[in-house]
Structure 1
């Protein structure tokens, strides 16, 4: 078929829901997952003003804040938000199973975002989306391509389920150890060194690198957001070492995040800023991986917010003097060593699974881009 416009092979569905909403799936933007072609979460029997109807097989595209990259195929009938554009394939023009992958391409999201209007809550209209141009093969080839894409996506989903199962296995192993532990000590007693970092004097580049909130994630450190402190100003705080547990001490949405710091093998100095607490454990008492896992538990995070945080809805902070008194379970060292072995093996498996997922994404991208 060559180059076509989206509006040549698909159209916006403007069906309205006029019946009772009792027991009918209700889909809002919050139910669509960025960069995921499927979704399985929705509301039911909730108060809403939605009246837009969708049917199985149509594509739900998040037209508000298109940069969030939300678009997925509907696998059931239901009602959706007005901030979702419902797109359906035109029979004989495009294989319906291929349409979700076209809408999920980065180039389509970028095109949609360029056509969005509004400052606080930009939205894109179907008239703009309909002019999107892309290469489309004949119908016979489309069917073959769609089958390959869905086979790759199902394999990706299988790997993701293995990832989830690996996380659950580690979690259950830890909880079993945790609930069998009656020895509890304060955080300051198991961490002889607890330090909030410096107030940096930032520069464009330096040999003194600053770990900040943006560097700390549940699955480990990410140094792409690292900043630099003026190396001509002496650092009067403790320098970070591998094995330090880093805890975000401020910020809505990031407070409580933690990870075990792994010092890169370079000649740079790594320090934390004043929004990050560095915890150096007494390894004869508790291993860093064990403390980090405990701090990551949902129950522990809830306790931190409930007992050791001050501030308003705009800014919350962990009270440093208070968090020192938090009680931490300390299992036997044999149990801790066994758990770290399980955690290490799980991390290796997860790394391999993530590599497989990345490779599948590359295959999907190569298929859809021809």
Structure 2
């Protein structure tokens, strides 16, 4: 959040004198108009991590069982008006339904970027402001009138996008103290090869025919995150329609190929079950590496580096701001550094150990956040 304050100042007192508009005018409350059916993502406050907005657990329920809820989609920013001190703000990565305690703000993309808005609402300055005006003793809530009439700062969109880029890089930083060592390994490597030469198989997936359930599971962009795959977002393809594309295998590197805010995200696929068939959809590029040349974890890490992401957006993307796509024929020619296999194996060993440590830390943080929430609830 210090980067936000450095760039934009205090958003509550508007110390840098930005142009402003009422939140109701640039991010009105607007649930999704999408008609949901079957099993849907049902989001409650206890499933949201305080201060980060990360989803601790995804629960899917039949839509008929969803009571006292409202719809949302990827265009919303969900703000919890209940107990503002718990600081729960979410940008959903797929449609669903949420408790009515979550206000479904819908920022106007040309004026207010959803990531920028989420950081503004999550910052200490706004949280303190919301706490100060919250009404109610045991169950304090920020008055909706005050939220709607809040003077939201509106820096130029290029400044907002600059911040969004920085924020997303921070979110990707999973490699801890040894990341600089990894970067040094890459940039000391003189052996560079094209992506298509180190990945004998590169393909976009199918156009699925979705059904409620089947043994053919579709990996889509919402499944691919910087910290790995999240299969709570998986969808199903009609198994009676033959799949004429290559089936995904463990070790494939998956690269999101389209969408502002999703393009460029990548992870290494790990097949969770031999009993099902896994396939990528047409918005996801699957890269199968020649493991005698480059290991999947090494390629994935290179693709996730800030400089590589900037190169992808600069040289291999077409389309306007809100509808961007990787040009498949162009990215095949992207040059990839190929370190020695000894260096790669050493890096993967360190990476594996770091992931184990990170998992332990994340579980501890979730546990501590739960305790903190319980204690704050008792105080309230």
Q: What interval of TM-score do these two structures reach, taking the shorter chain for normalisation?
A: 0.5 to 0.7
TM superposition shift of 1:367: 1.1
For residue 89 of structure 1, what is the aligned residue in structure 2? none
Range with greater deviation from structure 2 (166-175 or 256-265): 166-175
**Per the alignment, do residues 173 and 108 of structure 1 end up closer, same or farther by CA in structure 2, a change over 3 Å counting?**
closer
**1:360–1:215 distance in 2 versus 1, CA, 3 Å:** same
Distance change (3 Å), C-alpha of 1:217 and 1:117: closer
Q: Which residue of 2 aligns with 1:337?
A: 345
Aligned equivalents of 2:358, 2:177: Cα separation in 1: 12
State whether residues 201 and 287 of structure 2, in contact with CA within 8 Å, keep that contact through their aligned partners in structure 1: yes
Please state how far the C-alpha of 1:180 moved relative to its aligned partner.
1.2
Is 1:103 aligned to residue 84 of structure 2?
A: yes
SS of equivalent residue, structure 2 residue 189 = coil
Post-superposition Cα deviations, 1:264-308, rounded to whole Å, max 9, x if no partner, equal: 024110000010000000000000000000000010011111111
List gaps (5 residues or longer) in structure 1.
Answer: 1-22, 30-41, 51-63, 73-100, 137-162
Matches within 5 A, 1:55-134: 102-105=83-86, 113=102, 130-134=134-138
Is 2:84–2:134's contact at 8 Å kept on the other side of the alignment? Answer: no
Secondary structure of 1:134 counterpart = coil
Counterpart-to-counterpart distance in 1, 2:286 and 2:88: 41
User: Which is greater in Rg?
Assistant: 1
Give the TM-score normalised by the residue count of structure 1. Answer: 0.63
Pair 1:366–1:323, CA change in 2 (3 A) = same
Distance 1:262-1:303 versus aligned 2 partners, 3 A rule: same
Match of 1:195 among 199, 203, 219: 203
SS at match of 1:27: coil
Out of 214, 221, 226, which is 2:234 matched to? 226
Q: Which of 296, 303, 309 matches 1:301? A: 309
Aligned to 1:348: 356
Identify the match of residue 180 of structure 2 among 168, 172, 183. 172
Question: How many equivalent residue pairs?
Answer: 265
Aligned position for 2:166? none
Q: Distance in 2 between matches of 1:165 and 1:117?
A: 28
1:321/1:289 Cα in 2 relative to 1: closer, same or farther (>3 Å)?
A: same
Residue 193 of structure 1: how far off its partner (Å): 0.5
Q: Check conservation: 1:260, 1:292, Cα contact below 8 A.
A: yes
User: Take 1:246 and 1:119, find their aligned partners in 2: how far apart are those partners?
Assistant: 29
Q: Give the Å deviation of 1:168.
A: 3.2
Aligned-pair RMSD on alpha carbons? Answer: 4.0
Q: Which residue does 2:214 correspond to in 1? A: 206
State the TM-score, normalized to the length of structure 2: 0.61
1:308 to 1:353, Cα distance in 2 relative to 1, 3 A: same
CA displacement at 1:104 relative to structure 2: 2.4
- Post-superposition offset of 1:315: 1.1
SS in 1 for 2:250: coil
